[in-house]
Amino acid sequence: MSDRNRNQLPNNLPQLQNLIKRDPESYKEEFYQQHRHYKSNLQIFHLKPSQYSKSLHELVMFHCQIAHCYQTDLSNLPQELIELLQKHSTVLDPEMRMVFCKGLILLRNKNLIMPNTLLELFFELLRCQDKLLRKTLYSYIVQDIRSINAKHKNNKVNTSLQNFIYTMLRDSNVTAAKTSLDIMIELYRRNIWKDEKTVNVIVTACFSKVTKILVAALKFFLGSDDDDGKESDSESEDEGTTAKQVMLAQKVNKKTRKRMKQTSKALKVINKHKKKKKAELFNFSAIHLVHDPQSFAERLFKNLEGSNERFEVKLMMMNLISRLVGIHQLFLFNFYPFLQRFIQPHQKEVTKLLLYSAQASHELVPPEIIQSLIMTLVNNFVTERNSNEVMAVGLNAVREVCARCPLAMTSDLLIDLAQYKNYKNKSVMAAARSLIGLFRSVNPELLHRKDRGKPTEHSMDIQAKEYGELVAPNFIPGAEVLKDSSELQDAEREQADWESCSESGDDSDGSWHDVIHSDDDAGKDDEKEGSIVDSLTLEERQARASEISKSRLLTQEEFKEIRIKQMKREIEGAKVTKGKKRKLNNSIEEESSGEILSLNRIESIKYRPRHDKESRLATVMSGREGREKFRQQKRRHNPNASTSNKEKQKKKPFMMVKQKRNIKGKQKRSFREKQIALRDSLLKRMKNSK
């Protein structure tokens, strides 16, 4: 009998594996034979665990594949592999170690091993100096925890694993601690472990003495979240509709210079409100979930003062401290003098340090502390001994600090800085005017009278706030422009009467008459209602808005109407009685007290600086690259065609063509020709005078 007809099952494990999965009972004897073979190979392997065994490799994978078919006989298989890895994890051959891990993963996928036992083992195996193994375990741990929490949160497993990872972050093996931190950060970003415990475990990594772990934790809190930058569709549609209405009104109405200015102002206000509504680009949820931000900031600042890390790492620590102070409105008074030491134009990454100074400012910081910071900034940056770019950056930084703590600015300093509005450099001039524009909306009384600008209806209603004052309105601001309940009932009654009249409104001859409603009448009604609201005092407006806010739930159309009216009030000038002195008691709530700034707000240079001689020559020479030496290109369709007479005439000597009529030279008149021309002009003038 030939070899191919003999039974190959004892030696052909893939074939036997396939048959056992189909009918386990029929191949039980073959399984027992392979299981005894596995036991003997395992005993031999214990004697020399550092050597690779191909037969054990195949038998382990075979048993893990069919473990669900003989659960009683293979009940000890997971524990045997786990004990083998725990005992010889560091001395095992890399390929054999990978085989044992893959076998355990197969058993976990068949739900034959508990997740806590396996995942804790895999976290311990991260200590092995095997990059491929760590990468495999990293992917599997994240995927397994994701599948565990797919349908519902398994709090029991999550809590035990989080506690184990907390101990792993303190492990002496840097690689294992760093990989454990990366796993926890990845689970947070995938919204699997996005809870307070995860964040506060990562907080402990910010105090690690290992630079890699420290930087990873800092990047987690400073990282950006793509989902936070998306706007809702309804808001974008509303803003688009408002801009569309403004442009449509410009097209329909008579085009005048005044109306064009009003349209451009309206579009600027719409864009400003659109920028305010944009979600912040940074991930704040992790910072908000910190249990004790005050002690976290204090400990981090203490480590910063005694740190020997690179300057880039120190910048990251400053950034995180400033965000904690700004978002949670913390008191960390020693942080501002620490920043003042680095606020110099020649300092490396000085714009980032200015950004952190602005981020750490908020309304609850005593103004005296921020005043010292502002004076340092002004003395070092806003001076004519520095370049124009340095002055512009300094004014931008002053503006951003004052936007978060307006009480830190004094009247004398603001008047001095406002003088740069007519500076010779446009970037400095634009930065100074932006500072003036800020205090026009925050506290115009600090400005000189000529810099306060024309008052608007919006600015006349703003009340100033003192230090520590909290304004919490019990109504929707701007709701006074809506109709109250009685006016709505009257409008509904008129609508019902009009509908009933239209249903029974046939004439005696049975014919219908078209009723034309004028848009001008509707516009006049709106203007009449708007004038009534404008005539009310601030207290009466607030009382009306409170009554309307408490009476009903507002619709999206009503919110849209409020926004349009508020934009209009920001554009239109206030009606001030002629001959009376206008009073300005303006101050607004800080619109972005806890906002994380973008670096562009500090570094923004509005105008391109002039080119010097070297830069102009460099631009000219770069434009000459790739072309022939300075001569005009021939614009001939056929390069082999003959030249025209005009082209030939250009190459001839001047003496040959000077007599031609088409050559006109510049000739001076003789003295006699001038006399004749003067005589003719005088005679013509005398003749016309008669």
DSSP code per residue over 259-318: HHHHHHHHHHHHHHHHHHHSPPSB--HHHHT-S-HHHHHHHHHHHHHT--S-HHHHHHHH
Range with the lowest mean pLDDT among 58-62, 246-250, 607-611, 629-633?
629-633
Identify which of 225, 338, 241 has the alpha carbon closest to the alpha carbon of residue 288.
225
The torsion angles phi and psi of 45, rounded to 5 degrees, stand at -65, -35
With contact defined as beta carbons under 8 Å apart, do 213 and 203 qualify?
Answer: no
Burial of 664 by CB count in 10 Å (0-12 exposed, 13-18 middle, 19+ buried)? exposed
Distances (CA, A) of 664 to 449, 647, 653: 65, 17, 15
125 token code pair: 């195996």
Mean pLDDT within 590-617:
70
Can you say whether the dihedral through the CA atoms of 200, 201, 207, 211 is positive or negative? Answer: negative
pLDDT in tens, 239-257: 555 677 767 666 666 677 7
Answer yes or no: is pLDDT of 454 > 50.
yes
The CATH code belonging to domain 10-209 is 1.25.10
Question: Which residue would you say has higher pLDDT here, 149 or 516?
Answer: 149
Can you say whether the dihedral through the CA atoms of 309, 312, 315, 321 is positive or negative? Answer: negative
Query: What pLDDT band is residue 621 in, cutting at 50, 70 and 90?
Result: confident
Instruction: Please state, as a whole number, how many other Cβ atoms lie within 10 Å of the Cβ of residue 316.
Output: 21
| pLDDT of res. 466 | 77
**For the chain, how big is the Rg over CA atoms in Å?**
41
Distances (CA, A) of 370 to 404, 433, 646: 10, 22, 77
Answer yes or no: is pLDDT of 607 > 70.
no
Query: What pLDDT band is residue 229 in, cutting at 50, 70 and 90?
Result: very low
Task: Please report, rounded to a whole number, the percentage of residues in the chain having pLDDT higher than 90.
Answer: 40
628 token code pair: 């022939």
- Listed ranges 156-165, 601-610, 657-666; the one with the highest mean pLDDT: 156-165
| pLDDT of res. 269 | 75
With contact defined as beta carbons under 8 Å apart, do 294 and 328 qualify?
Answer: yes
| pLDDT of res. 637 | 72
The torsion angles phi and psi of 597, rounded to 5 degrees, stand at -75, 155
Can you say whether the dihedral through the CA atoms of 323, 329, 334, 337 is positive or negative? Answer: positive
Question: Which residue would you say has higher pLDDT here, 489 or 264?
Answer: 264
- Listed ranges 294-298, 345-349, 537-541; the one with the highest mean pLDDT: 294-298
Spatial separation of the C-alpha atoms in residues 334 and 365, rounded to whole Å: 12
Spatial separation of the C-alpha atoms in residues 619 and 621, rounded to whole Å: 6
Mean pLDDT within 273-287:
57
Residue 591 zone, left/alpha/beta (φ > 0; ψ -120 to 50; rest): alpha
Distances (CA, A) of 89 to 50, 62, 127, 289: 10, 22, 9, 38
625 token code pair: 């690259």
Beta-carbon contacts of residue 116 (< 8 Å; ≥ 6 apart):
157, 160, 161
Answer yes or no: is pLDDT of 103 > 90.
yes
Spatial separation of the C-alpha atoms in residues 148 and 8, rounded to whole Å: 41
Greatest Cα-to-Cα distance within the chain, rounded to the nearest angstrom: 145
Spatial separation of the C-alpha atoms in residues 587 and 461, rounded to whole Å: 9
Identify which of 638, 628, 599 has the alpha carbon closest to the alpha carbon of residue 356.
599
| pLDDT of res. 253 | 67
| pLDDT of res. 559 | 84
Distances (CA, A) of 137 to 144, 149, 579: 10, 18, 81
pLDDT in tens, 1-15: 445 545 556 678 888
Mean pLDDT within 449-455:
79
Spatial separation of the C-alpha atoms in residues 412 and 417, rounded to whole Å: 9
Give CA angle at 460 (458, 465), nearest 5°.
100
514 token code pair: 């078209």
Q: pTM for the whole thing? A: 0.69
Answer yes or no: is pLDDT of 276 > 60.
no
Spatial separation of the C-alpha atoms in residues 534 and 415, rounded to whole Å: 33
Domain ranges of the chain: 10-209, 333-454+595-603
Answer yes or no: is pLDDT of 225 > 50.
no
Query: What pLDDT band is residue 554 in, cutting at 50, 70 and 90?
Result: confident
Contacts of range 152-160, beta carbons closer than 8 Å, 24 or more positions apart:
157/115, 157/116, 158/193, 159/197, 160/116
The torsion angles phi and psi of 456, rounded to 5 degrees, stand at -115, 170
Average pLDDT, the chain: 80
Mean pLDDT within 503-517:
49
- Listed ranges 543-547, 632-636, 675-679; the one with the highest mean pLDDT: 675-679
> Strand, coil or helix: what is 419?
helix
Answer yes or no: is pLDDT of 500 > 70.
no
Burial of 420 by CB count in 10 Å (0-12 exposed, 13-18 middle, 19+ buried)? buried
**Amino acid making up residue 343:** I
Question: Which residue would you say has higher pLDDT here, 489 or 477?
Answer: 477
Question: Which residue would you say has higher pLDDT here, 476 or 332?
Answer: 332
Spatial separation of the C-alpha atoms in residues 441 and 590, rounded to whole Å: 10
Can you say whether the dihedral through the CA atoms of 470, 471, 474, 477 is positive or negative? Answer: negative
Query: What pLDDT band is residue 238 in, cutting at 50, 70 and 90?
Result: low
| pLDDT of res. 591 | 38
Range with the lowest mean pLDDT among 199-213, 506-520, 611-625?
506-520
pLDDT in tens, 108-138: 999 999 999 999 999 999 999 999 999 999 9
148 token code pair: 């565990």
Identify which of 320, 310, 367, 360 has the alpha carbon closest to the alpha carbon of residue 340.
360
| pLDDT of res. 372 | 94
Spatial separation of the C-alpha atoms in residues 326 and 643, rounded to whole Å: 77
Beta-carbon contacts of residue 107 (< 8 Å; ≥ 6 apart):
64, 67, 77, 78, 81, 113
